[in-house]
Chain A
């Protein structure tokens, strides 16, 4: 398998604070990779750098054979690199359908937009029922579905999810992960950032463990589940 995403020596600074230090990471085509770690370990900053929302202070990001340093954020989505931002970030005063259409913003006038919309509605029937409702009136779980559906509208090859379980009831978390698993099985490569390490490890192939800006461990997800260090620190 070839690497779809190859990150080498990535560093992210916010002023004098270093959030990510010399991070190496690889995601192969069709793989499901998770990045786990405690609060403030630098997981979200890593994803933001990959999406182009923050400018890394050092390192290289190669995606699909292209150096992303020369590709601005608004062009990365068009190349199939999609981020579901932390805290969902739905446009609360736009309707559900308008939110979804925003996800396909860069595909202006593209054919198949409505098929895509139908596909997302097929995945999340709840969104279809509420398609004319303002997104802000949805429940937390529904908003997360909307955020994921919106990212799918961009027809991504690599879907990056930032804490999809955050602030959701356990039952809803399970449903969201069910959906994520389905998306991956449909052939979308996955990079999942999670604090709920157990769930993430259960649906992913490989894992990176992050601590204060650095990768401290990388292994197959199954072995991480058995690793005593991971168990004591993240699985409780």
Chain B
């Protein structure tokens, strides 16, 4: 019953938003879904396995460039979607293993620093791999990327279903929604599986876990690879949606933002992570309206909306850590830890 209501809501939401607020807002919804997918991926690494990753955006970048290079005039390759997305996810997963293999002996803060460095390395590589052989096209990025296309259906154009007009952003919304739903199902299955329990055990007491006969290094690598593959998948979707990628989109700021979504919503809890991602991607956009509001009410713009966003964001984080350190919708286990 509740599930049915939620399904109807999700189905109607883009059309209502489009009619009421216009394409721009549906686009914001699309990005919110993309962030949900990213946050769910990072949640596997941070929430389930307890490994702090500050360079998660690197996997997003790998997936995006994988799509961009294999489906654009840059190399004159035009792979189909069903090959592009798995390729991006796989490539990102192997980068996860590549990062994890030498570094997973490190713990906590040290691991965080290394992952941060990794994120930067990937971005700088993308920025500079235009000489001597032009692979990534450097800071200009790759443009004219093929739009997302399912069989004969290009999602990059307006479709008509009966009398209903389905704009591009709504097409994208439904594709992303499918991705998010799959990710949720997969996360749930993982969390309650033998592997999920093993991750929880490692998170809590690595020595005890090892003495239970857990292959701790491989399990952590698996978490890295699984998380990275979600990132790679989102990257592919992002590239196909935008039609353009450049290294600028994959800064440390993005990694921090995704981590905030996971922490703010409630590490390890799927509903919390989804909520965190939606809030942090939609609220800043909503605050853009604050400029116009000031103009109307006070006669002039006192605080620039973009400054206001950061200010409120910082304030929200501080308040959260004071009042609900376990996140908005915490995992049961995390709540136990913080409130005994």
Contacts and interface: CB of A to CB of B under 8 A. Distances in A.
A123 interface: no
A76 interface: yes
Contacts of A164: none
Interface stretch (A1-9, A99-107, A185-193, A204-212): A99-107
A57 B201 CA distance: 28
B167 to A, nearest CB: 46
Nearest to A154: B213
A83 B214 CA distance: 13
A136 B212 CA distance: 18
Contacts of A232: none
A214 interface: no
Contacts of B131: none
Contacts of A102: 197-198, 201, 209, 212, 214
A94 B50 CA distance: 14
A93 B337 contact: yes
Given A77-B213, A154-B212, A94 B200 contact: yes
B213 A93 contact: no
Nearest to A52: B210
A82 B210 CA distance: 11
A91 B212 CA distance: 11
B336 A93 contact: yes
Interface residues on A, range: 20 to 34
B207 interface: yes
Given A94-B204, A94-B333, A134-B333, A89 B197 contact: no
A14 interface: no
Contacts of B198: 102, 105
Max chain B Cβ within 10 angstroms of own Cβ: one of A76, A77, A102? A102
Contact of B211 (A53, A98, A137): A53
A74 B333 contact: no
Contacts of B216: 74
B213 A90 contact: no
B160 interface: no
B336 A77 contact: no
B215 interface: yes
A92 B210 CA distance: 16
B210 A105 contact: no
B186 interface: no
B213 A74 contact: yes
Given A85-B208, A89-B207, A74 B215 contact: yes
A73 interface: yes
B205 A73 contact: no
Contacts of A51: 211
Given A91-B200, A91-B204, A93-B204, A83 B211 contact: yes
A73 B210 contact: yes
A91 B337 CA distance: 11
A150 interface: yes
A136 B208 contact: no
Contacts of B200: 91, 93-94, 98
Contacts of B215: 72, 74
A129 B333 CA distance: 20
Contact of A89 (B211, B333, B336): B211
A75 interface: yes
Contacts of A91: 200-201, 204-205, 208-209
Given A93-B333, A102-B197, A76 B213 contact: yes
Interface string B300-340: 00000000000000000000000000000000011011001
19 contacts: A53-B210, A73-B211, A74-B213, A74-B214, A74-B216, A76-B213, A77-B211, A77-B212, A78-B213, A83-B211, A85-B208, A91-B200, A91-B209, A92-B204, A92-B337, A102-B198, A102-B209, A105-B214, A150-B212
When A and B form their complex, which 5 residue pairs have the shortest distance between CB atoms, in order from nearest?
A77-B213, A89-B208, A93-B333, A74-B215, A106-B213
